[in-house]
Structure 1
Amino acid sequence: MPLEIQLSEIVTEAERFGILNPLLAHNLAKGGDDAHETFALLLRDPDSNEVIGGLYGKVSYRWLLIDLVSVPESMRGQGIGERLMHMAEEVAKQKHCIGIWLETFSFQAPGFYQKLGYSEFGRLADYPPGHTRFYYQKRLC
Protein backbone atom coordinates (compact mmCIF):
# COMPACT_ATOMS: atom_id res chain seq x y z
CA MET A 1 0.00 0.00 0.00
CA PRO A 2 1.45 3.43 -0.92
CA LEU A 3 2.17 5.99 1.77
CA GLU A 4 -0.70 8.42 2.35
CA ILE A 5 -0.09 12.08 3.15
CA GLN A 6 -3.13 13.80 4.56
CA LEU A 7 -3.74 17.50 5.26
CA SER A 8 -5.20 18.09 8.71
CA GLU A 9 -6.25 21.58 9.78
CA ILE A 10 -7.52 20.43 13.16
CA VAL A 11 -4.60 18.58 14.74
CA THR A 12 -5.05 16.55 17.89
CA GLU A 13 -2.39 16.43 20.58
CA ALA A 14 -1.86 12.72 19.77
CA GLU A 15 -1.22 13.59 16.10
CA ARG A 16 1.21 16.33 17.11
CA PHE A 17 3.09 13.85 19.31
CA GLY A 18 3.12 11.39 16.38
CA ILE A 19 5.19 13.99 14.50
CA LEU A 20 7.20 15.16 17.51
CA ASN A 21 8.29 11.84 19.03
CA PRO A 22 10.45 10.59 16.11
CA LEU A 23 12.05 14.05 15.92
CA LEU A 24 12.84 14.03 19.66
CA ALA A 25 14.37 10.55 19.33
CA HIS A 26 16.56 11.74 16.44
CA ASN A 27 17.61 14.88 18.34
CA LEU A 28 18.50 12.80 21.40
CA ALA A 29 20.61 10.44 19.28
CA LYS A 30 22.47 13.26 17.49
CA GLY A 31 22.54 16.17 19.97
CA GLY A 32 22.29 14.44 23.32
CA ASP A 33 19.76 15.06 26.04
CA ASP A 34 18.73 18.73 26.07
CA ALA A 35 17.16 18.40 29.54
CA HIS A 36 15.42 21.73 29.05
CA GLU A 37 14.35 23.75 32.05
CA THR A 38 11.85 26.59 32.05
CA PHE A 39 11.84 29.60 34.35
CA ALA A 40 10.04 32.90 34.81
CA LEU A 41 10.84 36.26 36.35
CA LEU A 42 7.44 37.55 37.43
CA LEU A 43 6.38 41.17 37.78
CA ARG A 44 3.58 41.25 40.34
CA ASP A 45 1.21 44.05 41.18
CA PRO A 46 2.00 45.00 44.80
CA ASP A 47 -1.69 45.40 45.69
CA SER A 48 -3.31 42.38 44.03
CA ASN A 49 -0.25 40.10 43.67
CA GLU A 50 -1.43 39.52 40.07
CA VAL A 51 1.26 38.80 37.47
CA ILE A 52 1.36 41.87 35.21
CA GLY A 53 4.46 41.09 33.16
CA GLY A 54 7.89 39.57 33.36
CA LEU A 55 10.22 37.29 31.46
CA TYR A 56 9.76 33.63 30.52
CA GLY A 57 12.56 31.48 29.19
CA LYS A 58 14.03 28.05 28.89
CA VAL A 59 17.48 26.53 28.97
CA SER A 60 18.16 23.91 26.33
CA TYR A 61 21.43 22.56 24.90
CA ARG A 62 23.30 25.04 27.14
CA TRP A 63 21.58 28.05 25.53
CA LEU A 64 18.99 30.19 27.26
CA LEU A 65 16.05 31.16 25.06
CA ILE A 66 14.20 34.27 26.17
CA ASP A 67 10.75 33.41 24.92
CA LEU A 68 8.67 36.25 26.38
CA VAL A 69 9.45 39.68 27.83
CA SER A 70 6.64 41.99 28.87
CA VAL A 71 6.65 45.20 30.87
CA PRO A 72 3.34 47.08 31.26
CA GLU A 73 3.20 50.26 29.17
CA SER A 74 2.86 52.41 32.28
CA MET A 75 6.09 50.99 33.74
CA ARG A 76 8.32 51.30 30.68
CA GLY A 77 11.36 53.58 30.77
CA GLN A 78 12.08 52.79 34.43
CA GLY A 79 14.79 50.18 33.83
CA ILE A 80 12.55 47.20 34.59
CA GLY A 81 13.18 45.50 31.24
CA GLU A 82 16.91 45.93 31.68
CA ARG A 83 16.71 44.42 35.19
CA LEU A 84 14.78 41.44 33.83
CA MET A 85 17.38 40.89 31.11
CA HIS A 86 20.28 41.11 33.57
CA MET A 87 18.53 38.66 35.89
CA ALA A 88 18.02 36.26 32.96
CA GLU A 89 21.71 36.58 32.13
CA GLU A 90 22.53 35.60 35.73
CA VAL A 91 20.29 32.53 35.37
CA ALA A 92 22.16 31.65 32.16
CA LYS A 93 25.52 31.98 33.90
CA GLN A 94 24.36 29.83 36.84
CA LYS A 95 23.26 27.17 34.35
CA HIS A 96 26.64 27.37 32.55
CA CYS A 97 25.04 28.50 29.30
CA ILE A 98 27.06 29.29 26.20
CA GLY A 99 24.77 32.20 25.47
CA ILE A 100 21.29 33.66 25.24
CA TRP A 101 19.08 34.03 22.19
CA LEU A 102 15.72 35.61 21.44
CA GLU A 103 13.33 36.76 18.73
CA THR A 104 11.74 40.20 18.43
CA PHE A 105 9.78 42.19 15.86
CA SER A 106 10.80 45.48 14.27
CA PHE A 107 7.84 47.12 16.06
CA GLN A 108 8.96 45.77 19.44
CA ALA A 109 12.42 46.32 20.89
CA PRO A 110 15.39 45.51 18.61
CA GLY A 111 17.26 48.63 19.77
CA PHE A 112 16.76 47.65 23.41
CA TYR A 113 18.45 44.29 22.86
CA GLN A 114 21.28 45.82 20.82
CA LYS A 115 21.92 48.29 23.67
CA LEU A 116 22.30 45.30 26.01
CA GLY A 117 24.98 43.71 23.82
CA TYR A 118 22.89 41.36 21.69
CA SER A 119 23.90 40.91 18.05
CA GLU A 120 21.63 40.03 15.17
CA PHE A 121 22.12 36.60 13.64
CA GLY A 122 19.07 36.44 11.41
CA ARG A 123 15.97 38.18 10.15
CA LEU A 124 12.75 37.32 8.41
CA ALA A 125 11.38 40.13 6.25
CA ASP A 126 7.63 40.75 5.94
CA TYR A 127 6.76 38.81 9.09
CA PRO A 128 4.18 40.22 9.60
CA PRO A 129 3.87 41.97 6.23
CA GLY A 130 5.59 45.36 6.33
CA HIS A 131 7.68 44.40 9.38
CA THR A 132 10.69 42.24 10.20
CA ARG A 133 11.30 39.51 12.73
CA PHE A 134 14.82 39.68 14.18
CA TYR A 135 16.89 36.98 15.86
CA TYR A 136 19.50 38.08 18.40
CA GLN A 137 22.13 36.34 20.48
CA LYS A 138 24.58 37.19 23.21
CA ARG A 139 27.43 34.79 23.83
CA LEU A 140 28.51 34.43 27.44
CA CYS A 141 31.68 32.40 26.85
Structure 2
Amino acid sequence: MSLQIQLSEHPSEEERSAILTPLLAHNLAKGGDDGHETFALLLRDPASNEVIGGLYGKVSYRWLLIDLVSVPESMRGQGIGQRLMHMAEDIARKKHCIGIWLETFSFQAPGFYQKLGYSEFARLADYPPGHARMFYQKVLG
Protein backbone atom coordinates (compact mmCIF):
# COMPACT_ATOMS: atom_id res chain seq x y z
CA MET A 1 0.00 0.00 0.00
CA SER A 2 1.38 3.38 -1.01
CA LEU A 3 0.61 6.19 1.43
CA GLN A 4 -0.66 9.45 -0.02
CA ILE A 5 -0.30 12.76 1.81
CA GLN A 6 -2.55 15.50 0.53
CA LEU A 7 -2.63 19.17 1.50
CA SER A 8 -6.11 20.44 2.36
CA GLU A 9 -5.95 24.23 2.70
CA HIS A 10 -9.55 24.43 3.83
CA PRO A 11 -10.22 21.17 5.70
CA SER A 12 -13.82 20.29 6.38
CA GLU A 13 -15.16 19.44 9.82
CA GLU A 14 -15.42 15.83 8.59
CA GLU A 15 -11.69 15.81 7.72
CA ARG A 16 -10.82 17.30 11.11
CA SER A 17 -12.94 14.67 12.81
CA ALA A 18 -11.19 11.90 10.86
CA ILE A 19 -7.88 13.08 12.38
CA LEU A 20 -9.29 13.72 15.85
CA THR A 21 -11.22 10.47 16.38
CA PRO A 22 -8.24 8.07 16.51
CA LEU A 23 -6.27 10.61 18.58
CA LEU A 24 -9.04 10.78 21.19
CA ALA A 25 -9.23 6.97 21.26
CA HIS A 26 -5.47 6.80 21.88
CA ASN A 27 -5.70 9.43 24.64
CA LEU A 28 -8.53 7.53 26.31
CA ALA A 29 -6.56 4.27 26.18
CA LYS A 30 -3.41 5.85 27.65
CA GLY A 31 -4.70 8.66 29.90
CA GLY A 32 -8.16 7.45 30.86
CA ASP A 33 -11.37 9.41 30.63
CA ASP A 34 -10.52 13.11 30.75
CA GLY A 35 -13.85 14.02 32.39
CA HIS A 36 -14.18 16.85 29.84
CA GLU A 37 -16.67 19.53 30.96
CA THR A 38 -17.14 23.09 29.80
CA PHE A 39 -18.71 26.09 31.52
CA ALA A 40 -19.11 29.83 31.02
CA LEU A 41 -19.46 32.76 33.38
CA LEU A 42 -21.43 35.25 31.31
CA LEU A 43 -21.39 39.03 31.68
CA ARG A 44 -24.75 40.29 30.47
CA ASP A 45 -25.87 43.81 29.69
CA PRO A 46 -28.71 44.50 32.14
CA ALA A 47 -30.73 46.44 29.56
CA SER A 48 -30.52 44.09 26.58
CA ASN A 49 -29.51 40.81 28.30
CA GLU A 50 -26.83 40.53 25.57
CA VAL A 51 -23.62 38.70 26.50
CA ILE A 52 -20.88 41.34 26.55
CA GLY A 53 -18.04 39.33 28.04
CA GLY A 54 -17.20 36.65 30.53
CA LEU A 55 -15.05 33.59 31.06
CA TYR A 56 -15.15 30.24 29.23
CA GLY A 57 -13.45 27.24 30.76
CA LYS A 58 -12.87 23.54 30.22
CA VAL A 59 -12.11 20.94 32.86
CA SER A 60 -10.22 17.85 31.77
CA TYR A 61 -7.77 15.49 33.49
CA ARG A 62 -8.50 17.38 36.73
CA TRP A 63 -7.11 20.65 35.36
CA LEU A 64 -9.18 23.71 34.47
CA LEU A 65 -8.19 25.48 31.27
CA ILE A 66 -9.35 29.07 31.26
CA ASP A 67 -9.86 29.33 27.53
CA LEU A 68 -11.36 32.82 27.21
CA VAL A 69 -11.62 35.87 29.47
CA SER A 70 -13.13 39.10 28.20
CA VAL A 71 -14.24 42.19 30.10
CA PRO A 72 -15.45 45.21 28.08
CA GLU A 73 -12.86 47.99 28.10
CA SER A 74 -15.32 50.41 29.71
CA MET A 75 -15.68 48.02 32.67
CA ARG A 76 -12.01 47.22 33.28
CA GLY A 77 -10.39 48.24 36.56
CA GLN A 78 -13.59 47.58 38.53
CA GLY A 79 -12.68 44.11 39.82
CA ILE A 80 -14.88 42.22 37.34
CA GLY A 81 -12.02 40.20 35.88
CA GLN A 82 -10.83 39.32 39.36
CA ARG A 83 -14.36 38.19 40.32
CA LEU A 84 -14.55 36.00 37.21
CA MET A 85 -11.19 34.41 38.01
CA HIS A 86 -12.14 33.76 41.64
CA MET A 87 -15.42 32.21 40.53
CA ALA A 88 -13.52 29.97 38.10
CA GLU A 89 -11.15 28.94 40.90
CA ASP A 90 -14.16 28.05 43.07
CA ILE A 91 -15.52 25.89 40.25
CA ALA A 92 -12.12 24.21 39.86
CA ARG A 93 -12.01 23.40 43.57
CA LYS A 94 -15.57 22.00 43.53
CA LYS A 95 -14.55 19.77 40.63
CA HIS A 96 -11.45 18.62 42.57
CA CYS A 97 -9.01 20.10 40.06
CA ILE A 98 -5.28 19.93 40.68
CA GLY A 99 -4.82 23.35 39.16
CA ILE A 100 -5.69 25.91 36.53
CA TRP A 101 -3.84 26.91 33.39
CA LEU A 102 -4.30 29.55 30.73
CA GLU A 103 -2.55 31.27 27.88
CA THR A 104 -2.33 34.97 27.16
CA PHE A 105 -0.33 37.37 25.03
CA SER A 106 2.29 39.79 26.35
CA PHE A 107 0.03 42.67 25.20
CA GLN A 108 -2.99 41.32 27.09
CA ALA A 109 -2.93 40.72 30.84
CA PRO A 110 0.09 38.78 32.13
CA GLY A 111 0.45 41.13 35.12
CA PHE A 112 -3.20 40.57 36.03
CA TYR A 113 -2.69 36.80 36.20
CA GLN A 114 0.56 37.16 38.14
CA LYS A 115 -1.22 39.30 40.77
CA LEU A 116 -3.73 36.45 41.17
CA GLY A 117 -0.97 33.95 41.93
CA TYR A 118 -0.42 32.44 38.48
CA SER A 119 3.14 31.61 37.42
CA GLU A 120 4.49 31.47 33.90
CA PHE A 121 5.50 27.97 32.78
CA ALA A 122 6.16 28.52 29.08
CA ARG A 123 6.61 31.31 26.55
CA LEU A 124 6.55 31.38 22.78
CA ALA A 125 8.62 34.37 21.64
CA ASP A 126 7.64 36.46 18.63
CA TYR A 127 4.06 35.20 18.55
CA PRO A 128 2.96 37.57 17.09
CA PRO A 129 6.25 39.14 16.02
CA GLY A 130 7.46 41.59 18.65
CA HIS A 131 5.28 40.00 21.35
CA ALA A 132 4.99 36.66 23.14
CA ARG A 133 2.38 34.04 23.84
CA MET A 134 2.58 33.16 27.52
CA PHE A 135 1.33 30.18 29.47
CA TYR A 136 0.43 30.41 33.16
CA GLN A 137 -0.59 27.94 35.82
CA LYS A 138 -1.81 27.96 39.38
CA VAL A 139 -1.70 24.82 41.48
CA LEU A 140 -4.62 24.63 43.87
CA GLY A 141 -3.90 23.66 47.46
TM-score for the superposition, normalised by structure 1: 0.98
TM-superposed CA distance for 1:52, in Å, is 0.4
Instruction: Could you list the structure 1 runs, at least 4 aligned residues long, displaced by more than 2 angstroms after superposition.
Output: none
1: CA distance, partners of 2:35 / 2:13: 22
2:57 paired residue number: 57
2: CA distance, partners of 1:118 / 1:20: 31
1:97 paired residue number: 97
1:18 paired residue number: 18
1:66-119 deviation line (CA, Å, top 9, x unaligned): 000000000000000000000000000000000000000000000000000000
2: CA distance, partners of 1:32 / 1:99: 18
TM-superposed CA distance for 1:46, in Å, is 0.8
Q: Which runs of 5+ in 2 are unaligned?
A: none
SS in 2 for 1:10: coil
Count how many residue pairs are aligned between Structure 1 and Structure 2: 141
2: CA distance, partners of 1:89 / 1:54: 14
Structure 2 counterpart of 1:87, one-letter code: M
Identity of aligned residues (%): 84
TM-score for the superposition, normalised by structure 2: 0.98
2: CA distance, partners of 1:13 / 1:53: 27
2:85 paired residue number: 85
1:120 paired residue number: 120
Q: Which runs of 5+ in 1 are unaligned?
A: none
The RMSD of aligned alpha carbons is 0.6
2:137 paired residue number: 137
2: CA distance, partners of 1:13 / 1:80: 36
TM-superposed CA distance for 1:10, in Å, is 1.4
